[in-house]
């Protein structure tokens, strides 16, 4: 079937409505829950229900430009609610529902930080969270005006024509340059930068990314990715919804408990595409027994897109080897690279072709040069994330912003017709990430024969199973633990080759000496991590004055990570 033809819609709401007019009975979203009959939203039903929610939004006093934070578990009414907020001219901002292990005070602190920095005007959530959120709203000086429980709203009645007409006028007043959404990075603290995307940025990306992947009317995307993350929200919600194809949404928490759920959905719904962070390839290949796979068929898959984490050859190989006998075509393996600031991605693999891979000398790579491995080399397989999509450009530069030749590693600068409008209420941070009109990514990589290879992060961001974790958050929590010398703890990511992701490690100075004291301290550290929804994989306890300081007088993450992993210091007490 030929590629879908995009129209001249200026806003997402206009585009969604036109999809409903052209293909009213086509499935827009299939809401999948384990052990339950899927709930199937057609484009017509989705739009009609979104209109009802938009009336309730306006009746609640929410106005054009207001930010509505949605904090909700996997629920079929999330989708029309999201669309209804947009129709009313407000900005949806999807936030993570708090993990039960997360302390309510920590959750409130995160919401307060986000509301004060980026501006959360209203919270739309489940009534169960009312006791947790209400004290924050009632706190003097709170910027959050109110909390609503949209799942309790009565949307069974027909819409009042006058109210509907008023809201349609609001929708028509929205310009393509107006913001469509506010997106925070994953996590629960107030440190995330709030990315503002316009209707035009998203619609440009729909066209350019859709064409790169040769989307057609027969495509179906299956996804368990959380919608508070750009990989889930843009790749597996906005892109298919605007293109007019079907997406199957799986509960992320159910997938974690039973990864085979994704394969069952692909089999039953005959999905053609799915998107996965790198660690999920390992989970699917290693955590599912063959005797569970007798009814699985992956023949329908034409694209399995790897993104949101550094891409690893071993993970792809494990996945392909495991599932070839269940109909999986290894040529379906695909990659992308980008960031929320460019809506989603800059480069993608060419569909249907083998992924370019380079076997290089690891030591030379660490020195900033791509050199092919020889028989004496310690090797690393670099997997290409793809080629530039239309409307995007990349420069690889050195520390002086001078462009580098192919095969030389440098920092990635980006341009895109889908560039974000800046960090909301954060002009100083927005200014920091631009150089002469180019976005400074903070990632390192190189180009070779028009393919881009991403090899690492410039900063200390830790990525565990697709989740971005800031070491400062962990260190702040651990500095409160009795037994750790305050200010003398660092956190970093250690590679876990078996799982295909990073795991969190901490190094903490302590005066504790006995085995009993150290065991109790390790347990306290693990509990402190759980309190902020972080699983600490390794705990290294070291004596006072062990940590190396940076020139700024703070313990250096890089230097101490290298020291601890070298295992040369016999004083280290590790878990």
Those residues whose C-beta lies under 8 Å from the C-beta of residue 365, and which sit 6 or more positions away, are 371, 380, 382, 409, 455
Query: With DSSP H G I counted as helix, E B as strand and the rest as coil, what are the percentages for the chain, rounded to 5?
Result: 35, 25, 40
Would you place residue 574 in the very low, low, confident or very high pLDDT band (cuts 50, 70, 90)?
Answer: low
Whether the Cβ atoms of residue 279 and residue 535 lie closer than 8 Å to each other: no
Q: What pLDDT was estimated at residue 379?
A: 84
The 10 Å Cβ neighbour count of residue 387 is 18
The 10 Å Cβ neighbour count of residue 73 is 13
CA angle 439, 442, 443 (to 5 degrees): 110
Alpha-carbon distances, residue 171 vs 63, 79, 388 (angstroms): 11, 18, 34
Q: What pLDDT was estimated at residue 185?
A: 59
Whether the Cβ atoms of residue 338 and residue 201 lie closer than 8 Å to each other: no
| Kind plus residue range of the DSSP H or E element containing 306 | strand 303-306
pLDDT at 190 over 70: no
Q: Is 356 helix (H, G, I), strand (E, B) or coil?
A: coil
The arithmetic mean of pLDDT across residues 451-479, rounded, is 80
Q: How do beta strands 146-148 and 122-125 pair?
A: parallel
pLDDT at 169 over 60: yes
The arithmetic mean of pLDDT across residues 507-528, rounded, is 94
What is the rounded distance in angstroms from the CA atom of residue 27 to the CA atom of residue 222?
13
Of 357, 244, 183, 169, nearest in space to 12 by CA? 244
Please write the tens of the pLDDT for every residue from 208-242: 999 999 999 999 999 999 999 899 999 999 999 99
pTM of the model: 0.85
Q: Which residues pair with 183 in a beta bridge?
A: 195
Of 273, 324, 262, 323, nearest in space to 301 by CA? 273
Concatenated DSSP letters of 113-132: HHHHHT---EEEE-GGGHHH
What is the rounded distance in angstroms from the CA atom of residue 230 to the CA atom of residue 393?
20
Please write the tens of the pLDDT for every residue from 16-34: 999 999 999 999 999 999 8
Asked which of 57-61, 124-128, 395-399, 545-549 is least confident by mean pLDDT, the reply is 545-549
Would you place residue 427 in the very low, low, confident or very high pLDDT band (cuts 50, 70, 90)?
Answer: very high
Q: Which residues pair with 387 in a beta bridge?
A: 348
Please write the tens of the pLDDT for every residue from 287-304: 999 999 999 999 999 999
What is the rounded distance in angstroms from the CA atom of residue 90 to the CA atom of residue 53?
12
Q: Which of 64-73, 378-387, 460-469, 532-541 has the highest mean pLDDT?
A: 64-73
What's the distance, Cα to Cα, between the start and end of the chain in Å?
Answer: 56
Of 206, 252, 209, 258, nearest in space to 229 by CA? 252
Backbone phi and psi for residue 45, each to the nearest 5 degrees, phi listed first: -65, -35
Mean of the per-residue pLDDT values for the chain?
Answer: 91
Q: What pLDDT was estimated at residue 457?
A: 73
User: What's the number of CA atoms in the CB half-sphere (13 Å) around residue 390?
Assistant: 11
CA angle 494, 499, 505 (to 5 degrees): 25
Q: What pLDDT was estimated at residue 97?
A: 92
């Amino acid at each position: 079937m030929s590629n879908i033809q995009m129209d001249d819609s200026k806003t997402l709401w206009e585009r969604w409505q036109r999809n409903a007019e052209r293909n009213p009975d086509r499935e827009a979203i299939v809401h999948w829950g384990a052990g339950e009959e899927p709930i199937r939203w057609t484009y017509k039903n989705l739009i009609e229900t979104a209109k009802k929610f938009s009336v309730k939004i306006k009746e609640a006093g929410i106005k054009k430009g207001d930010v509505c934070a949605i904090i909700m578990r996997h629920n079929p009414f999330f989708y029309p609610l999201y669309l209804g907020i947009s129709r009313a001219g407000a900005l949806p901002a999807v936030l993570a529902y708090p993990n039960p292990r997360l302390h309510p005070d920590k959750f409130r602190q995160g919401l307060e930080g986000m509301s004060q920095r980026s501006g959360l005007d209203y919270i739309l959530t489940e009534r169960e969270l009312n006791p947790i959120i209400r004290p924050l709203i009632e706190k003097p000086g709170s910027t959050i005006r109110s909390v609503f429980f949209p799942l309790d709203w009565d949307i069974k009645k027909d819409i009042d024509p006058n109210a509907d007409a008023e809201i349609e006028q609001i929708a028509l007043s929205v310009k393509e340059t107006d913001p469509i959404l506010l997106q925070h990075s994953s996590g629960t603290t107030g440190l995330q930068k709030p990315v503002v995307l316009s209707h035009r940025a998203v619609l440009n990306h729909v066209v350019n990314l859709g064409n790169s992947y040769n989307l057609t009317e027969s495509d179906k995307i299956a996804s368990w990715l959380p919608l508070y993350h750009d990989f889930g929200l843009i790749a597996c919600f906005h892109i298919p919804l605007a293109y007019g194809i079907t997406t199957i949404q799986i509960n992320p928490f159910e997938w974690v408990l039973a990864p085979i759920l994704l394969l069952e959905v692909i089999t039953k719904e005959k999905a053609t595409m799915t998107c996965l962070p790198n660690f999920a390839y390992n989970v699917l290949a290693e955590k599912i027994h063959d005797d569970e796979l007798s009814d699985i068929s992956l023949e329908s898959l034409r694209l399995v897109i790897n993104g949101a984490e550094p891409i690893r050859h071993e993970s792809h190989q494990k996945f392909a080897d495991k599932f070839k006998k269940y109909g999986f075509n290894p040529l379906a393996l695909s990659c992308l690279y980008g960031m929320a600031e460019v809506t989603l991605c800059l480069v993608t693999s060419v569909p249907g072709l083998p992924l370019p891979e380079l076997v290089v000398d690891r030591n030379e790579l660490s020195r900033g040069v791509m050199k092919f491995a020889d028989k004496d080399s310690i090797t690393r397989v670099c997997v290409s994330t793809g080629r530039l999509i239309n409307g995007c450009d990349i420069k690889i530069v050195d520390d002086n912003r001078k462009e580098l030749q192919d095969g030389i590693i440098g920092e990635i600068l980006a341009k895109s017709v889908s560039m974000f409008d800046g960090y909301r209420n954060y002009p100083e941070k927005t200014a920091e990430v631009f150089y002469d009109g180019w976005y400074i990514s903070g990632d390192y990589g190189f180009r070779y024969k028009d393919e881009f290879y991403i090899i690492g992060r410039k900063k200390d961001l830790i990525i565990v199973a697709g989740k971005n974790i800031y070491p400062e958050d962990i260190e702040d929590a651990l500095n409160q633990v009795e037994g750790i010398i305050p200010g003398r703890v660092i956190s970093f990511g250690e590679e876990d080759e078996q799982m295909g992701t990073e795991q969190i490690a901490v190094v903490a100075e302590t005066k504790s000496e006995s085995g009993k004291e150290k065991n109790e301290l390790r347990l306290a550290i693990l509990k402190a991590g759980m309190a902020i929804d972080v699983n600490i994989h390794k705990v290294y306890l070291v004596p006072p004055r062990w940590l190396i300081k940076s020139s700024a007088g703070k313990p250096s993450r890089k230097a101490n990570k290298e020291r601890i992993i070298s295992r040369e210091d016999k004083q280290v007490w590790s878990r």
